[in-house]
A and B are shown apart, each in its own frame.
Chain A
Amino acid sequence: MDFNDTPEEVTFRKEVNDWLSANATLKDSSADSGYPGRGEEDALTVAKKWAAKLYDSGWACLHWPQEYGGRGSTPIERVIWGQEASKYRIPGGFFEIGQGMAGPVLMMYATEEQKKRYLPPMAKGEEVWCQLFSEPGAGSDLAGLKTKAVLEGDTWIINGQKIWTSGAHYCDYGILVTRSDPSAQKHKGLTYFFIDMKSPGVECRPIKQISGGANFNEVYFTDVKIPDEQRLGAVGDGWKVALTTLMNERLAVGDASGPDFQEAFNLACEHDLNGELAIKDGYVRDKLADWYCQSSGLKYTKYRNISALSRGETPGPEASITKIVSGNKLQEIANFGMDMMDAAGILRPDSSEAEQTMYHAGFFGAAGIRIAGGTDEILRNIISERVLGLPQDMRADKGIPFNEIPSSNK
């Protein structure tokens, strides 16, 4: 048992670091989320430049085959890249859905011609992709989606509404799941496409979130045309294709970012409580100890997974616990951070340097993280069913044609 790299890993890590240190700036703390953020147009320009630089230097899409613009790296090399890159201020947040989810699905289901056309620009960050899955009435129960696809000749006509699409307004393409046969059973009437986001009839509207920000969109489809060549998988097989995509999403979702144990600990060493440093207070120590154990547990769970990868094994399902634990921990730490500032914790100062800022971001962010990419409750189902082998819940919609399933009290 040790934390040492194999000789090959040492060489690779050095190569990664040499390149990163020559091309990027180190972060000044672990809570430094990196520059720049997402959502602004100039941030997209900066990110695209960075992606092109990665592509030209051979560091784009480590896990993709070289023929499509990737590096063809092993899983452990991808982990090493991630570890080292997380120390630097690197523009991000624009290409994950394309490179992490859409790309792998295209590799499995698209024609060779389509792969050659779409994958390299995706790897290079020239074309940005989004995901059009969730609907206002279909979140955890994604297969309950209703966006209609009707085939006319060799063209599909799409009508309906998607939600929670990151960056729909600047994306070039999207992956889309639709209902092509409402009279089939729920999981059997779905069909999967990729779509040009500039198609006539596609309309994006930003969603204002509880934080006040707007990182996501609603996307409306009115008689949007998609050629049949852009169908991925067979008609009616959309659920199977969607599951492939979601597997990749779960691999991509990691720690909730924001203040963690160390920030809470530092804060308690700086603020007074009941006339002495907060860190001397029993309540504070109790809370800090819990968060330390959770952070440490997640850190070494990750190390166990990496070790499995390093041995060439598929990592166990342990990764499924990360989001539940870190999302809830973030929510607690955000509240704790504001509590340390007493009544003044709720103040929203103008300066982003103010000590409240990080905790306010965590307060709202955690509420979203606990829902995005699988709610806490869905993840508990996944742990109990896929990891522990417990039976599925009884379903009221089993074996019924989709259009006969009740969807409201009316």
Chain B
Amino acid sequence: MNFEFSSDQMLLRDQARKFLEGQESIKKAREVLEGDHSYDETLWKSVIEMGWTATTIPEEFDGLGLGYLELCVIAEELGRSLAPTPFSSSIYLATEAILNHGTKEQKQNYLPKLAAGEIVGTLAHTETTTAPTQENLACELKKDLLNGSKIVVPDGDIANFAVVSAKDGNKIVLCLADLAAEGAEIKSENTLDPSRSHASIVFKNAKVEVLDSKVDGWTALQEVLDRAAVLFAFEQLGGAEACMNMAKEYAMGRFAFGRPIASFQAIKHKIADMYIAVELARSNCYFGAWALSTNAPELSTAAATARVSASQAFNECSKENIQTHGGMGFTWEFDCHLYYRRCRQLAANIGSQAIWKNKLISSLERANQI
């Protein structure tokens, strides 16, 4: 049995961690949160120079042609350091959609530029405060013209193009929409995590091309979301562990009643519970990574398990990290709230906990019927 990342992959994780520490990624997340920029350009450029955007793109499209395990360890570190860049939208969502569901021509048009960081992509799916379904999607494609609106599009105001879900008659399609072209009206949105940018997009007769998948659009979308769920779960895992470590460090140094608060069982047991949540999530994430990297039939189960488990761990750790810090954890000055915000953003971005728990049980129902 070899259920562990290879020594090369672990080396990559260490390098990524050191690199992001050196770049002061967390400080930059705070700057983006407090400032007017929608992301940190310097950090984004460095990430591109590191070649991370090219990780899983095949060499024939100017990528590095590495595997998904490499991308997973990078994701963990981006999550740990709250990296304020459009990496996840452009790589986990847009790149994956084109790589797995695009035509050869679409791949040639987009992938080399995505690998080089020349363009940024995203996925535009949410439309209202009700979770999107095949029935309630209102964006409409007629011939090659798209009409309708999307909200909370991650990095929507940074991206050059978006993969957009829409109805074409009775069927669901995924379209590639140029966000600089006529007919796409983009407006930055305020969210509770301004360290990650979001926008609304209104399409008015926007000219788009359909992502020409071999499967129907809804199935293709679910596949994209499953794959992204594993990668987002690694970001959540990294964030959760960072919170656990913050809580631990603070509790060791903070004295009350003449002793470090880390010596009180009320605090120790809280941190032990964080550890349990992180370990369960880590193990489930590893299974997700294995399924993603081998395109295993278990991928949808593994992805939902990793997603649910990592969301739970990040939730547990980010809220109890504030609690462990006491009043200081409630101040703007301490970083606890940066993680608390990011946790909520990541827990919602590709569908809520309720949606993913339901997906998990549905995929187990399918597996049980076979």
> Which A residues contact B (CB, under 8 angstroms)?
1-5, 9, 265, 269, 279, 282, 285-286, 288-290, 292-294, 296-301, 303-304, 306-308, 310-311, 318, 321, 324-325, 377, 379-381, 383-385, 387-394
The residues of B that contact A321 with a CB separation of less than 8 Å are 275-276, 279-280
Please pick, from B2, B280, B305, B309, the residue contacting A1 in the complex, using a CB distance under 8 A: B2
Q: Do B259 and A296 have beta carbons less than 8 Å apart? A: no
A391 close to B262 (CB less than 8 A): yes
- Residue of B at shortest CB range from A382? B272
Measured CA separation A393–B268 after assembly (Å): 9
| Residue from A288, A294, A391 in contact with B361 in the complex, judged by beta carbons closer than 8 Å | A288
Alpha-carbon distance A387/B278, docked complex (angstroms): 13
Contact, CB under 8 Å: A391 / B263:
yes
Verify if B343 is at the interface (C-beta below 8 Å from A).
no
Min CB distance A269 to B, Å, is: 8
User: A1-B2, A381-B268, A391-B262 in contact; A265/B368 too (CB < 8 A)?
Assistant: yes
- For the complex formed, measure the closest distance between the CB of A307 and the CB atoms of chain B, giving whole angstroms: 5
A19-B86 Cα distance, complex, nearest whole Å: 57
A265 touches B364 (CB 8 A): yes
In the complex the two chains form, what is the Cα distance from A300 to B309 in whole Å? Answer: 13
Please determine whether B252 and A324 come into contact, CB atoms closer than 8 angstroms: no
Given contacts A1-B2, A297-B281, 17 further A-B pairs with CB under 8 A are A3-B3, A285-B361, A286-B357, A288-B361, A289-B308, A292-B360, A292-B364, A297-B283, A300-B284, A307-B2, A311-B2, A321-B276, A381-B272, A384-B262, A390-B251, A390-B271, A392-B263
Main secondary structure of the interface of B (DSSP, over half): helix
Q: Are B265 and A325 in contact (CB under 8 A)?
A: no
B358 contacts chain A at the CB level, 8 A cutoff: yes
Is B214 interfacial (CB 8 A cutoff)? no
**B357 partner, pick from A5, A289, A297, A392, beta carbons under 8 A:** A289
> Is A4 in contact with B357, judged by CB distance below 8 angstroms?
no
Given the interface pairs A384-B268, A388-B271, A394-B259, the reply to whether A303 lies near B3 with Cβ below 8 Å is: yes
B4 within 8 A of partner (CB): yes
Q: B358 near A304 (CB under 8 angstroms)?
A: no
Which residue on B lies nearest to A79, using beta carbons?
B1
Q: Do B365 and A325 touch across chains, with their CB atoms under 8 A apart? A: no
B354 to chain A, nearest CB (A): 8
Q: Which residues of B contact A4 (CB under 8 A)?
A: 1-2
Known: A380-B272, A391-B252. A1 touches B290 (CB 8 A): yes
Instruction: List residues of B (23-70) whose CB comes within 8 Å of A's CBs.
Output: 69
Known: A286-B357, A297-B279, A301-B279. A310 touches B1 (CB 8 A): yes
A279 touches B309 (CB 8 A): no
In contact, B279 and A2 (Cβ under 8 angstroms): no
Given known pairs A1-B4, A393-B263, the reply for A296 and B268 (CB within 8 Å) is: no
CB pair B308–A324 under 8 Å, yes or no, is no
Chain A residues positioned under 8 Å from B260 (CB to CB): 391
> Is B1 within 8 A of A384, CB to CB?
no
Whether B248 and A388, one on each chain, are in contact in the complex, defined by CB atoms closer than 8 angstroms, is yes
CB atoms of B2 and A2 under 8 A apart: yes
Tell me what chain A mostly uses at the interface: helix, strand, loop, or mixed. Answer: helix
Neighbouring B residues of A292 by C-beta, 8 Å: 305, 360-361, 364
B6 contacts the other chain (CB 8 A)? yes
A1 and B5 form a contact (CB under 8 A): yes
Tell which of B280, B290, B360, B368 touches A325, judged by Cβ atoms closer than 8 Å.
B280
In the complex, what's the smallest C-beta–C-beta distance from B61 to chain A, in angstroms?
25
> Does A304 contact B4, Cβ atoms closer than 8 Å?
yes
Beyond A293-B308, A304-B4, is A390–B248 a contact (Cβ under 8 Å)? yes
Nearest CB to that of B290 among chain A residues? A1
Q: How far is the CA of A297 from the CA of B306 in the complex (A)?
A: 9
Q: Which residues on the B side are within 8 Å of A297 (C-beta)?
A: 279-281, 283-284, 309
Cross-chain pairs A/B with CB under 8 angstroms, 6 sampled: A297-B309, A298-B283, A304-B286, A384-B269, A390-B252, A391-B259
Complex CA–CA separation, A325 to B283 (angstroms): 14
Query: Which residue, of A269, A299, A300, A308, has the highest number of chain B Cβ atoms within 10 A?
Result: A300
Which residues of chain B have C-beta atoms less than 8 A from A324's C-beta?
Answer: 276
- Contact yes or no, A285 B263, CB < 8 A: no
Which A residues are in CB contact (< 8 Å) with B265?
377, 380-381, 393
Q: Is B335 an interface residue (CB 8 A)?
A: no
Nearest chain-A residue to B308 (Cβ)?
Answer: A293
Q: Which residues of A contact B279 (CB under 8 A)?
A: 297, 301, 318, 321
Across the interface, which residues of A come within 8 angstroms of B267, CB to CB?
390
Closest A-chain residue to B307, C-beta based?
A: A293
Q: Which residue of A lies closest to B67 (CB)?
A: A1
With A and B bound together, what is the CA distance between A391 and B267 in angstroms? 11
Contacts of B269 in A (CB 8 A): 377, 380-381, 384
